[in-house]
């Protein structure tokens, strides 16, 4: 009954006319930026953060969440039609989706993607409704030492399971923690790392930093890309899949929903990992694996279902435990903090209208995506004809006006420009800005939890091993590190043996 009462509260919030409008805007904008290569949900959400500051917290998160899961389907359109993934999670879809388009079956590929996305998203929302209260009740037993361990675990998993070099990711997380310390000390109020600049007394603004790294940085990097997109000129027919297509895809959709849900909960998981895992699973289970890569509809249905399921279930660690499982959710975490709401176990009690309103809006958003995307495929494809110069000019204008409007401070505009250049350099040199932003967001929470723990123990660090929950988390973290090194060592041994055999 509690679940039904919670959902009733959520739908009463989500069905507010203005919130319905924000759900609609979110999924449409999300689909559009998924189609446009180079933007993606991270850059778009970073650019729109100042706009959401004028909204109600519930409406702001509903809008940003809609952009996030809406972009997952948008990336599918160009993956199928042009072999050009608009979003990283859609890379796997190019394997079989593009081959289906070449065979004149672009319509069924897009149709099954829409159906799989709807099913995966809906299954994840149901799982979120059932699992969130249980996790929240368990997390209420967490004290400051347990939260320290949880924050450290989240940072480690995101840096180790993300893309790119683990060493580089850890370096970026360390820089993020250092940047989060700029400003006044949480206990004494004394300035730290301000170098006499009064503008830094309140620390660096999260919105300005994220807009610079992901907004301006992404824009500068994409300006260097000279690839031209070729328009899709063939007519898309029979978008609704046939009975045979639905039968062939039903198992892949079911498995992708469950797999994506559980991978999405894992910090560092997300769309790319879930879609790759789903594709590997379907190919392994297939009676004829050779069909994959040559237009197998299961190779489209499974990954598309999984990446949408994972994008929704990623809200569980964010809202329930206060741990963003990927970069986009770290930006949503920051947006909630800016609105005075701290995600975590208390959020369900202190802000139930935000918690359950966002979850209910996902039901509605998935229905809107299913209803809108199938008939509007042609419209979204035509968006690829928009010149990059127009998009860049508009984006930079939005960035500068938006960041200045937050506090009417020119200093924040300089922060955006400086971090924009830093983000561009990081992109070119292979440093992922995601761990930096995640550490920047979690830094103050980690510091306050460490301070509280040491106050409780009289300054003794033994509290982190005497607290049973903290000890369990740290043991799990240590085991993960050891297993990671062992696995890496085995892979090196195998690679060395293969090189010796090849040399002989």
Question: Using an 8 Å Cβ cutoff, are 76 and 94 in contact?
Answer: no
For residues 451 and 484, state if they share a domain.
no
Return the biggest CA–CA distance within the chain. 72
For residues 163 and 82, state if they share a domain.
yes
On average, the pLDDT of the chain sits at 79
Three-state secondary structure call for residue 183: strand
Would you place residue 124 in the very low, low, confident or very high pLDDT band (cuts 50, 70, 90)? confident
Q: Which of 69-73, 146-150, 192-196, 289-293 shows the lowest mean pLDDT across its residues?
A: 69-73
pLDDT at residue number 164: 60
For residues 439 and 363, state if they share a domain.
yes
What are the distances in angstroms from CA 81 to CA 78, 86, 431, 500? 5, 11, 31, 43
State the residue for tokens 């990446």.
Answer: 307
Full-model pTM: 0.72
For residues 475 and 420, state if they share a domain.
no
Q: What's the domain count of the chain? A: 2
Can you give the residue range of the structural domain that contains 491?
Answer: 467-504
Q: Minimal CA–CA distance to 311: which of 85, 41, 100? A: 41
For residues 491 and 365, state if they share a domain.
no
Question: Using an 8 Å Cβ cutoff, are 263 and 310 in contact?
Answer: yes
The residue ranking higher by pLDDT, 441 or 3, is: 441
For residues 357 and 479, state if they share a domain.
no
Would you place residue 369 in the very low, low, confident or very high pLDDT band (cuts 50, 70, 90)? confident
For residues 500 and 355, state if they share a domain.
no
pLDDT at residue number 5: 79
Residues 6+ apart with CB under 8 A from 42: 214, 218, 327, 328, 331
pLDDT at residue number 270: 61
Residues of the chain with pLDDT > 70, as a percent, come to 82
DSSP string covering 154-177: HHHHHHHHSSS-HHHHHHHHHHHH
90 pLDDT more than 80: no
pLDDT at residue number 8: 83
The per-residue pLDDT for range 309-349, each reduced to its tens digit, is 888 888 888 888 777 777 778 788 888 888 888 887 788 88
The per-residue pLDDT for range 422-461, each reduced to its tens digit, is 988 888 888 878 788 878 888 887 888 888 888 888 888 8
For residues 399 and 482, state if they share a domain.
no
Residues of the chain with pLDDT > 90, as a percent, come to 2
Would you place residue 385 in the very low, low, confident or very high pLDDT band (cuts 50, 70, 90)? low
Question: Using an 8 Å Cβ cutoff, are 176 and 330 in contact?
Answer: no
Would you place residue 21 in the very low, low, confident or very high pLDDT band (cuts 50, 70, 90)? very high
For residues 367 and 486, state if they share a domain.
no
How many of the other CB atoms lie within 10 Å of CB of 38? 17
Would you place residue 378 in the very low, low, confident or very high pLDDT band (cuts 50, 70, 90)? low
232 pLDDT more than 60: no
Question: What is the C-alpha to C-alpha distance for residues 270 and 260, in angstroms, rounded to an integer?
Answer: 8
What are the distances in angstroms from CA 76 to CA 30, 81, 279, 333? 12, 9, 15, 26
For residues 462 and 485, state if they share a domain.
no
pLDDT at residue number 18: 92
For residues 159 and 299, state if they share a domain.
yes
For residues 386 and 501, state if they share a domain.
no
């Amino acid at each position: 009954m509690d679940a039904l009462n919670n959902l009733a509260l959520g739908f009463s919030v989500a069905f507010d006319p203005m919130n319905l409008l924000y759900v609609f805007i979110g999924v449409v904008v999300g689909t559009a930026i998924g189609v446009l290569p180079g933007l993606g949900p991270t850059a778009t959400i970073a650019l729109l953060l100042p706009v959401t500051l004028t909204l109600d917290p519930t409406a702001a998160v509903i809008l940003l969440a809609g952009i996030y899961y809406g972009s997952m389907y948008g990336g599918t359109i160009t993956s199928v039609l042009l072999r050009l993934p608009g979003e990283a999670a859609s890379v796997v879809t190019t394997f079989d989706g593009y081959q289906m388009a070449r065979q004149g079956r672009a319509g069924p590929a897009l149709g099954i993607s829409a159906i799989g996305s709807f099913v995966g998203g809906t299954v994840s929302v149901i799982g979120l409704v059932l699992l969130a209260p249980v996790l929240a009740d368990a997390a209420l037993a967490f004290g400051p030492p347990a939260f320290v361990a949880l924050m450290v675990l989240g940072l480690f998993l995101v840096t180790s399971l993300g893309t790119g070099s683990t060493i580089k990711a850890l370096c970026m997380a360390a820089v993020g923690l250092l940047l989060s310390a700029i400003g006044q000390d949480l206990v004494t109020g004394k300035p730290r790392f301000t170098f006499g600049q009064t503008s830094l007394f309140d620390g660096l603004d999260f919105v300005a930093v994220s807009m610079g790294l992901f907004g301006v940085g992404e824009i500068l990097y994409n300006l260097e890309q000279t690839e031209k997109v070729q328009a899709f000129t063939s007519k898309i027919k029979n978008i609704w899949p046939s009975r045979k297509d639905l039968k062939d895809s039903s198992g892949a959709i079911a498995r992708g929903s469950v797999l994506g849900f559980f991978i999405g909960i894992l910090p560092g998981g997300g769309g790319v990992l879930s879609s790759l895992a789903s594709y590997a699973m379907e190919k392994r289970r297939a009676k004829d694996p050779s069909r994959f890569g040559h237009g197998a509809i299961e190779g489209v249905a499974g990954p598309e279902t999984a990446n949408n399921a994972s994008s929704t279930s990623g809200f569980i660690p964010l809202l329930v435990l206060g741990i963003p499982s990927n970069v986009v959710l770290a930006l949503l975490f920051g947006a909630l903090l800016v609105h005075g709401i701290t995600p975590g176990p208390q959020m369900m009690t202190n802000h139930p209208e935000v918690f359950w309103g966002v979850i209910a809006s996902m039901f509605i958003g998935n229905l809107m995506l299913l209803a809108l995307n199938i008939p509007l495929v042609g419209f979204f494809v035509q968006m690829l004809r928009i010149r990059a110069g127009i998009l860049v000019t508009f984006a930079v204008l939005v960035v500068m006006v938006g960041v200045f409007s937050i506090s009417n401070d020119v200093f924040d505009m300089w922060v955006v420009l400086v971090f924009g250049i830093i983000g561009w350099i990081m992109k070119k040199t292979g440093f992922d800005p995601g761990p930096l932003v995640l550490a920047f967001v979690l830094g103050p929470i980690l510091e306050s939890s460490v301070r509280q723990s040491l106050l409780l123990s009289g300054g003794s660090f033994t509290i982190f091993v005497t607290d049973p929950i903290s000890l369990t988390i740290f043991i799990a973290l240590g085991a993960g590190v050891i297993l990671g090194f062992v696995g890496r060592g085995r892979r090196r041994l195998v690679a060395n043996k293969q090189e010796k055999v090849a040399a002989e």
